[in-house]
Amino acid sequence: MKGGSSYRARGRQFSLALAALVFTTILLCIWEKNPFINLAQDQFLLSSSEFTSELPEEFSLPVKEWSEEHNSDYIRPDKYAKVAQDEDITFRNSTLTSFTDEESDGHSRISSEVKVCNYAKGNWIQSNRTPLYSGQGCKQWLSEMWACRLTQRTDFSYEGFKWQPNDCEMPDFDRHAFMKRMQDKTIAFVGDSLGRQQFQSLMCMVTGGKETPEVEDIGKEYGLIVAEGNIRPDGWAFRFPTTNTTILYYWSASLCYLESLNASNPNSEVAMHLDRPPAFLSRFLDRFDVLILNTGHHWNRGKINANRWVMYVNGQPNQDRKLAAVGNAKNFTVHSIARWVDSQLPSHPRLKAFFRTISPRHFAHGEWNTGGSCDNMTPLSKGSGVSQDESSDAVVGSAVKGTRVKILDITALSDLRDEGHIARFSVKANTGIQDCLHWCLPGIPDIWNEILCAQI
């Protein structure tokens, strides 16, 4: 009897332990399924290279090199949902609940049961196809400084490759078929000069690099005119009358709403509202059918100081010491704009929104202002394939997770193409500073657009 009692006691203990294990497992599953709690699972430590400015048009002040890894003020991307809730900022009304495969507003949402094709996972393969346009011929849309065929460069082997995703169908770009699909639609790029490169690339792709005098400049409809004291407008907008397709670009290096603190003083400080979208987006979002956002390379202290930007949150100067760190401010803004766009999609059911990940830089042996260079001219010297499932840009990856905003993930595949930058070549044969940030066109941004077109 005594042995049987002991056996039953041990059985009860085992049952209780098993029940506790099952209960704990259920809790963990609930935790994993909650998109608000699990906004991002990856830790992301930004390096100083992510904070350098664009060039050659937008050289910034020298930036002190530092690493977020050693910065005690750094906030992980997965903490931004909590920060946003505490700050009660613009995207507070975003839908952050469990998702079905298709919402009533017509926008697909990611669910754990649906496997979304990963266009960023694949290989660069050699191709015999000619570029989609000529860098010498597409002078109507392409900035001269980015047309490497007009420079002293003699090696154009970087043009002879295409991207092949592992498990996604991505047919060669057909400009006529694409424009037919985009009939009566508007495509808008909003971001920095890498966004401008992607815009110019698409303009050359859809025209084949040929002169198209029938295309209408409709910049005035979007307020894109040369303001007093400026040398260029804040963007461009063009309409193709045959298909009534509009392609536009708006300059917004930070994706923040910028507001002069004293409109009568041209040297006034500017409120940089980290939690509000650019006024251009708020005003014209209802006109867009495809939206591509990007930011990243202007987030450095030198650029912020040079622009007299002052960080604001909730309409007030930021008082949060951790958020004042440039890396944290950038990550906070990326999450903010992604959640704001997501909150707008139910009332804009035809809109497809994309957040393009950061374009990699390839400076070696220094920065742009300290002798940095990118002299490699051999294609794929770093390898030809991307096998990772997660984006190399963990900030954008975490920001769009759980939203209807799609990721346009180009970071890892572009990182393999360091030979495709402007590098030391220029139209005027200048020597000195190298451009290891912007790309030769035709070139890598054309691939970004091919992936974009496949995802639309």
Query: Strand, helix or coil at 49?
Result: helix
Residue 133 predicted with pLDDT over 70: yes
User: Residue 187 pairs with which residues in a beta bridge?
Assistant: 247, 290
Name which of 241, 179, 234 is nearest 205 in CA terms.
179
Residue 175 predicted with pLDDT over 60: yes
Output the average pLDDT for the chain: 82
Residue 114: predicted pLDDT: 55
Q: Alpha-carbon distance 211 to 204, whole Å?
A: 10
Is 373 buried (19+), middle (13-18) or exposed (0-12) by CB count in 10 A?
middle
Please answer whether residues 363 and 372 qualify as being in contact, where contact means their C-beta atoms are separated by less than 8 angstroms.
yes
pLDDT-wise least confident of 70-74, 134-138, 304-308, 425-429? 70-74
Mean per-residue pLDDT for 424-442?
Answer: 89
Segment 187-232, tens digit of pLDDT: 999 999 999 999 999 999 999 999 999 999 999 999 999 888 788 8
Tell me the pLDDT band of 8, cut-offs 50, 70 and 90. Answer: low
Is 353 buried (19+), middle (13-18) or exposed (0-12) by CB count in 10 A?
buried
Q: What is the pTM of this model?
A: 0.79
Q: Alpha-carbon distance 117 to 167, whole Å?
A: 7
**CA distances in angstroms from 455 to 84, 85, 142, listed in the order given:** 29, 31, 24
Q: Is the dihedral of CA 195, 201, 205, 206 positive or negative?
A: positive
Residue 64: predicted pLDDT: 31
Residue 245 CB-half CA count within 13 A: 19
Is 220 buried (19+), middle (13-18) or exposed (0-12) by CB count in 10 A?
exposed
Segment 258-295, tens digit of pLDDT: 999 998 898 999 999 999 999 999 999 999 999 999 99
Residue 292: predicted pLDDT: 98
Residue 169: predicted pLDDT: 87
Structure-model confidence comparison of residues 164 and 24, the more confident one: 164
Residue 49: predicted pLDDT: 34
Residue 368 predicted with pLDDT over 50: yes
CA torsion 217-220-224-229 (nearest 10°) is: 110
Amino acid in position 22: V
Name which of 351, 331, 384 is nearest 161 in CA terms.
384
Segment 18-58, tens digit of pLDDT: 555 544 444 344 333 333 223 222 222 233 333 333 444 33
Mean per-residue pLDDT for 318-323?
Answer: 95
pLDDT-wise least confident of 109-113, 148-152, 299-303? 109-113
